[in-house]
Amino acid sequence: MSTADHPQTDGQTERVNRVLEGTLRSICAEATRFWSDQLPMVEFALNNAVSEIEPESLKRQLSSFIDNRLTLISWVRDAMALAQDKQKEYSDTKSRGNLNVFRKGDLVLLDTKNLPLKVVSSLESKTLKHRFIGPFAVLARHGAAYTIDA
């Protein structure tokens, strides 16, 4: 709350303070000993009172809120698109990927990095195993994957 005659308060605050004072005066006049018991009901009544100027003010506030949200959503979408572009650019430059396209019948080598050691070598040492095995003939292509003749 603020004081009614303070130079930095606005007219709306002064009006609310005036209504609050009048309501509390009438409650104190009716129930001089138990006026404090009535405060929750006074608060409820004042919070739910309808003002003549509120509908237009609410429309303005709602319109302003919606405009701000739409601007924020647009800004977030632009920021997300920019971040995705940067991630794609970084990913494209840092990953080498498999750019080769093999046709049916081509001979290819198979990387042993993800194969169990006992499949690749009879030795029990990872350092001595072969890096690639093959060649294997390509039987079919499935998107970026291939079926090979093992």
CB atoms within 10 A of CB 85: 10
> Around 141, how many Cα atoms within 13 Å sit in the side-chain half-sphere?
10
pLDDT for residue 125? 72
Contact 20, 49 (CB under 8 A): no
User: Whole-structure pTM over 0.75, yes or no?
Assistant: no
pLDDT for residue 79? 95
38: tokens are 């009535």
Beta-carbon contacts of residue 105 (< 8 Å; ≥ 6 apart): 137, 138
Q: Tens digit of pLDDT per residue, the chain (150 long)?
A: 556 566 666 777 888 888 888 888 888 888 777 888 888 888 888 887 776 666 667 777 788 889 999 999 999 999 999 999 999 888 877 766 667 788 899 999 988 888 887 777 766 677 777 788 889 999 998 887 889 987
Domain spans of the chain, in order of start: 1-49, 53-95, 107-148
pLDDT for residue 67? 92
**Nearest in space to 107 (alpha carbons), one of 60, 150, 64:** 150
The three-class DSSP label of residue 99 is coil
Cis peptide before 7 (omega within 30 of 0): no
The 3-state secondary structure of 36-76, one letter per residue: HHHHHHHHHHHHCCCCCCHHHHHHHHHHHHHHHHHHHHHHH
pLDDT for residue 28? 84
- Locate tokens 């290819």: which residue? 108
